[in-house]
Amino acid sequence: RAGAETRPFQAEVSRMMDIIIHSLYSNKDIFLRELISNAADALDKIRFLSLTDKKQLGEGEDAKLEIRLSIDKDKKMISLRDRGVGMTKEELVNNLGTIAKSGTSAFLEQMQKGGDLNLIGQFGVGFYSVYLVADYVEVVTKHNDDKQYVWESKADGSFAVSEDTQGERLGRGTQINIYLKESAQEYLQEDKLRDLVQRYSEFINFPILMLTTRTEEKEVPIEEEEKQAEEAAKPDDEKEEGKKAEEAKEGETVEVEDEEDEEEKKPKTKKVTETITEWKALNDNQALWLRPPGNVSDEEYSKFYKALSKSEWDTPLAHSHFKAEGDVEFKAVLFVPGYAPPDLYDNYYAKKPSMKLYVRRVFISDSFEELLPKWLSFLVGLVDSDTMPLNVSREMLQLHEGLKVIRKKLVRKAIDMIKKLADGSAKAAEELEAAQKEAGEEEAATKKDEEKGEADKAQEEEKAKQKKELEDKAGQFKKFWGSFGKSVKMGLIEDPGNRRRLLQLLRFHSSKSADKLTSLSEYVGRMKEGQKHIYYLVGTSREEVEKSPFVESLVEKGYEVLYMTDPLDEYVMQNVHEYEDREFANVSKEDLKLAEDKGSKKREKALKEEFKPLAKWWKEALGAGAVESVKVSRRLSATPCVVVASKYGWSATMERIARTQTL
Ligand code: ADP
Ligand code: MG
């Protein structure tokens, strides 16, 4: 283009584009999802701006918040048009090329490790996926505050930006013209695009329309002269053929009806095949969260989750869809992801929740820190409030009292959802155990394989299926705990108001749990008669705590000890002192008291007296300040001596953590 300014891409962007354009990645389809999601973002932005400044929205076509898709087979091009916020020249230059987004290098790194290109949207560089299918792209854009500009690039290291004086006047918004590679011509097919939109962009809350062409047969009256001419032509078949072609104007073909009885059926009408082009909606953009929960299937939730989280392969572990009524009314959908993102606990305090906030269906923000506490930032979901004000700035909204109410309710609902997941898993585990027992008994009683009929086999298959389902369900909470257990612990530390509820979610290995994890309520259920405390020991590994001399005498006496091997456990235990009126007792602390039989008190006293000189000598031998005291104790059985922390001092693990921590 004449007068265009050519600029180099920022180096990392250029490298990334190079990888994309030469990629043999088979799932090229994702480009459309990325471009549609950008269009929807741009529409969200203009709708949000127009809340406080009505004229931003414009009138007529500009006010139609839509996304339109069209195909130009001659030019081997598809176009995606939105009436979103558009980009000023400066934004165009910065967003699409000169400034590398923070995710660029992370994305490059992932790609070098053989990562999945499908995740490109999560790195904030989704636009460039268009080069999976295109070798040349134009972005024509018009922002309210600027003129119409066009950006173009062949992904050859540079792009050009110029004022668009020639092209069709766009009004506000952006149009992306995608010139398809030879290898991507399949995207010129309407069916292909319709299929993609339905698959990937089902939950876009704006109408997505496609310019479709179809042919329609129509009966049209034959004009009088035409009829006569037809009459004349009738005996001659060939003539008729010729006339057909003649009559067929552009996009029309004419068929003359077959006549069996020439005398009686003189045609008064003829059939014309017309080519009709029209905009057709590809999505029904009814928001899922507005539907009654009972009307949404698990599969729909799962798909919705994938759309929200931009991760195609992950299935949520649990969801909660509810409506809150009262002074602050809102609808919400919450999901527990199937997996934790690898960086979940990096920069914990800087993390923003992955919750979208809508007010009366208008998207407001996806980074409202006020919506959820940090410890729940792993949740994915959205909130749509009916009672929050719409016509205020984001800053004002952030201060709105209603947010506190929403947050409180969301936290409760999230805990309920996780509790339900835990209970579901526990129940499934029980059923599984019962079924296994039953199966064992049955096996002993049943006939041999040869004697089994078809019906027996079908029944067996059904049983195997049920078993598999139960196993999955039973394993779900374990999976949750593995991915997000740390979050629950952070909740225990940071959210005193919900401590009681969160304690029910805690899980540990213990001296009695074998390979399973135990809950505190299970522990309490197994407590010895007269046992007052919940015993635990903190250490760096299960092996270490299991072999610890602190544990040995307790275990010998039949007490259960919880093994806390996560560095966070120590912090948790500084904040949590009891569970259902039973105090926790660290078995490595000096004041550990066990329920004792008589007689032993006396013996202990005598022994203490006897070993006084040794204790004195020992303390002196270790040197000043090395230990607080040396004492005779009854907590060990086989091990002769042990170093313990004083009741009010830090435990050994805590000291280790404190030495290495930069928290
Ligand atoms: P992300 O959408 O995660 O920000 P992308 O690479 O998809 O990353 O898009 C880069 C940026 O380009 C967007 O943040 C936005 O500012 C701008 N952009 C892309 N497409 C459009 C569009 N259709 N309308 C307005 N701005 C757009
Ligand atoms: Mg994007």
How far apart are the CA of 117 and the centre of ligand 2, in A?
A: 14
Print the SS3 string covering 366-433: CCCHHHCCHHHCCCEEEEEECCCCCCCCHHHHHCCHHHHHHHHHHHHHHHHHHHHHHHHHHHHHHHHH
Binding residues for ATP: 34, 38, 82, 87, 95, 101-103, 122-127, 174, 394
Report the percent of the chain where pLDDT is more than 70. 87
- What pLDDT was estimated at residue 245? 46
Q: Which DSSP string do the residues of 452-493 spell out, in sequence order?
A: --HHHHHHHHHHHHHHHHHHHHHHHHHHHHHHHHHHHHHHHH
Atom 15 (ligand 1) nearest CA: 95
- What pLDDT was estimated at residue 564? 95
Pocket test for ligand 1, best of 33, 46, 127, 161 (most atoms within 8 A of CB): 127
* Closest-approaching ligand to the CA atom of 98: 1
Cα–Cα distance, 285 to 37 (Å, whole number): 14
Flag whether pLDDT at 247 surpasses 80: no
- What pLDDT was estimated at residue 248? 45
| Tokens (6 digits) for 220 | 């049209």
pLDDT, mean of residues 328-347: 90
Beta partners for residue 204, in sequence order = none
Cα–Cα distance, 596 to 493 (Å, whole number): 34
Pocket test for ligand 1, best of 10, 20, 34, 38 (most atoms within 8 A of CB): 38
Q: In sequence order, which residues have a C-beta less than 8 Å from that of residue 581 and are 6 or more positions away?
A: none
Flag whether pLDDT at 622 surpasses 90: no
Flag whether pLDDT at 663 surpasses 50: no
Q: Which DSSP string do the residues of 280-339 spell out, in sequence order?
A: EE------GGGS-GGGS-HHHHHHHHHHHHT-SS---SEEEEEEE-SSS-EEEEEEE-SS
Q: Whole-prediction pTM value? A: 0.73
Strand order from edge to edge, sheet including 318-324: 318-324, 330-336, 380-385, 354-359, 362-365
Residue 112 zone, left/alpha/beta (φ > 0; ψ -120 to 50; rest):
alpha
- What pLDDT was estimated at residue 413? 97
Reported as a pLDDT band with limits 50, 70 and 90, residue 240 is very low
Pairing type for strands 269-281 and 561-564 reads unpaired
Q: What are phi and psi of 541, to 5 degrees?
A: -150, 160
Reported as a pLDDT band with limits 50, 70 and 90, residue 354 is confident
**Residue 351 or 334, more confident:** 334
Find the residues whose C-beta lies inside 6 A of ligand 1: 34, 38-39, 41-42, 82, 84-87, 95-96, 124-127, 174
For residue 173, the ligand 1 atom closest to its alpha carbon is: 24
Flag whether pLDDT at 433 surpasses 80: yes
Atom 4 (ligand 1) nearest CA: 124
For residue 125, the ligand 1 atom closest to its alpha carbon is: 6
Q: What is the DSSP code (8-state) at residue 574?
A: H
Average pLDDT, the chain: 87
Pocket test for ligand 1, best of 30, 41, 128 (most atoms within 8 A of CB): 41
- What pLDDT was estimated at residue 632? 80
Residue type, 281: A
Q: Are 579 and 503 in contact (CB under 8 A)?
A: yes
How far apart are the CA of 585 and the centre of ligand 2, in A?
A: 52
Pairing type for strands 173-180 and 134-142 reads antiparallel
How far apart are the CA of 122 and the centre of ligand 2, in A?
A: 8
Atom 17 (ligand 1) nearest CA: 95
Q: What's the pLDDT tens digit per position in 509-565? A: 999 988 889 999 999 999 998 888 999 999 999 988 988 888 888 898 899 999 999
- What pLDDT was estimated at residue 242? 46
Flag whether pLDDT at 501 surpasses 70: yes
* Closest-approaching ligand to the CA atom of 95: 1
Strands (E), 181-224: 208-221
For residue 37, the ligand 1 atom closest to its alpha carbon is: 2
Flag whether pLDDT at 148 surpasses 70: yes
Q: What's the pLDDT tens digit per position in 31-62? A: 999 999 999 999 999 999 998 898 999 999 99
Cα–Cα distance, 76 to 381 (Å, whole number): 39
Provide the 3-class DSSP secondary structure of residue 91: helix
* Closest-approaching ligand to the CA atom of 123: 1
Pocket test for ligand 1, best of 95, 144, 363 (most atoms within 8 A of CB): 95
Cα–Cα distance, 68 to 212 (Å, whole number): 11
Cα–Cα distance, 115 to 25 (Å, whole number): 11
* pLDDT-wise least confident of 6-15, 387-396, 415-424, 472-481: 387-396
Q: What's the pLDDT tens digit per position in 447-459? A: 555 566 777 888 8
| Tokens (6 digits) for 97 | 């090329």
Burial of 92 (0-12, 13-18, 19+ CB in 10 A): buried
Among 187-191, 550-554, 643-647, the range with the most confident prediction by mean pLDDT is 187-191
| Tokens (6 digits) for 482 | 């593995």
Q: Which DSSP string do the residues of 518-545 spell out, in sequence order?
A: B-HHHHHHTPPTT---EEEEE-SSHHHH
For residue 45, the ligand 1 atom closest to its alpha carbon is: 25
Flag whether pLDDT at 626 surpasses 60: yes
Atom 27 (ligand 1) nearest CA: 38
Atom 20 (ligand 1) nearest CA: 38
Flag whether pLDDT at 498 surpasses 80: yes
Alpha-carbon distance values, 338 to 297, 304, 348, 351, 378 (Å): 18, 14, 20, 19, 11
Q: What's the pLDDT tens digit per position in 117-131? A: 888 888 889 999 999
Flag whether pLDDT at 249 surpasses 80: no
Q: Are 134 and 77 in contact (CB under 8 A)?
A: no
Report the percent of the chain where pLDDT is more than 90. 54
